[in-house]
Amino acid sequence: MAAAEAEASGLCSSMAGAEPGAGAGPRGPVMDEAGPAGLVMDEAGAAGPATGEPGAEAGAAGPVVAEAPPPPPLPGLQLVRQGAEACVYRGIFLGRAAIAKLRIPKRYRHPALEERLSRRRMAQEARSLLRCRRAGISAPVVYFVDYVTNSIYLEDIVDSITVQDHINSIQQSGNDTGSLLTLAQKMGELLARMHDEDLVHGDLTTSNILLRPPVEKLDLVLIDFGLSFVSGLPEDKGVDLYVLEKAFLSTHPDTEAMFKTLLKSYAAASKKSGPVIKRLDEVRLRGRKRSMVG
């Protein structure tokens, strides 16, 4: 199920009844915690030997052995996918089709720090989902957050597919490619509404947006708010769009016109689009300079 598989890459959530509040969320993803001495953290969250330590040279590390997935938080749940941050299970929760995201603890962190991070990130994800739904933005329902097992239970969008799979299918078949521009317009409107609520997704990709059946209706659902946060800064929203642009164009070749349509729709629908688009252009320039310098 696309809804469950697309959720596997992130994990952060809050209690189903939590009030979001206008400024309750942190300004950005948690960045203040550090790993244990002697380890350095890369952008993906992986730990490795600090520079200058034995074994720091390229190729010195041994093969990585994948750990067996943990048991499901409830009996009867079926493992869908194991990601870097969470294992995703599908099943029935209180009589409703649901997915359960079980956070994978980082063994290099102190247990007290890991517990603190897990609670914070789970709380923020659920608050973001609630914030979306109260603003009329389609997102999964939060059923329950279990801080004991570090798991969150969400609505399973049954028979949905990811926007990524839909675009790939259209491109491979060559049928009705004009509908992709309409899809891009809908995506731009959806993201404009989200940003107008001062909610930054943090991990915008075409695999984190679902299409409810039938796909012809282009009923979009935002998922995987594990890196989300509340911010009114145009910089944060511009970076959000830049992340989507990089993921979009790397995953779907020859879709430049589609992304331009998305940005045009975003600018028309958002009440705060001017500064955001300006920041997006600045972020693009910074990205090009980094690429040139290497």
- pLDDT tens digits, one per residue of 14-67: 334 444 444 444 444 433 443 433 333 333 333 443 444 444 444 445 555 556
Q: pLDDT: is 156 or 104 the higher one? A: 156
Q: Name the segment(s) of the chain with CATH classification 3.30.200.20.
A: 1-16+71-157
CATH class of residue range 161-293: mainly alpha
Mean pLDDT computed over 113-119: 90
* Catalytic residue set: 203
Q: What is the pLDDT at residue 92?
A: 94
* Residue 44, pLDDT score: 38
Q: What is the distance between the alpha carbons of residues 241 and 239, in angstroms, rounded to a whole number?
A: 5
Residues above pLDDT 90, as percent of the chain: 56
Nearest to 70 by CA among 93, 118, 103: 103
Specify the pLDDT at position 68.
76
- Cα 101 from Cα 103, distance rounded (Å): 6
Give residue 286's pLDDT.
87
| Distance (Å) of CA 207 to CA 7, 125, 129, 255 | 9, 17, 17, 16
- In the chain, which segments carry CATH 1.10.510.10? 161-293
Alpha helices in 68-150 (DSSP H): 111-134
Residue-level pLDDT at 75: 87
Task: Please state which CATH class domain 1-16+71-157 belongs to.
Answer: alpha beta
Pick 13 or 131 by higher pLDDT: 131
Instruction: Count CA atoms within 13 Å of residue 141 on its CB side.
Output: 9
Three-state DSSP state, 217: helix
pLDDT, position 55: 43
In this prediction, residue 149 has a pLDDT band, given cuts at 50, 70 and 90, of: confident
Whether the predicted pLDDT of 192 surpasses 90? yes
Higher pLDDT, 221 or 173: 221
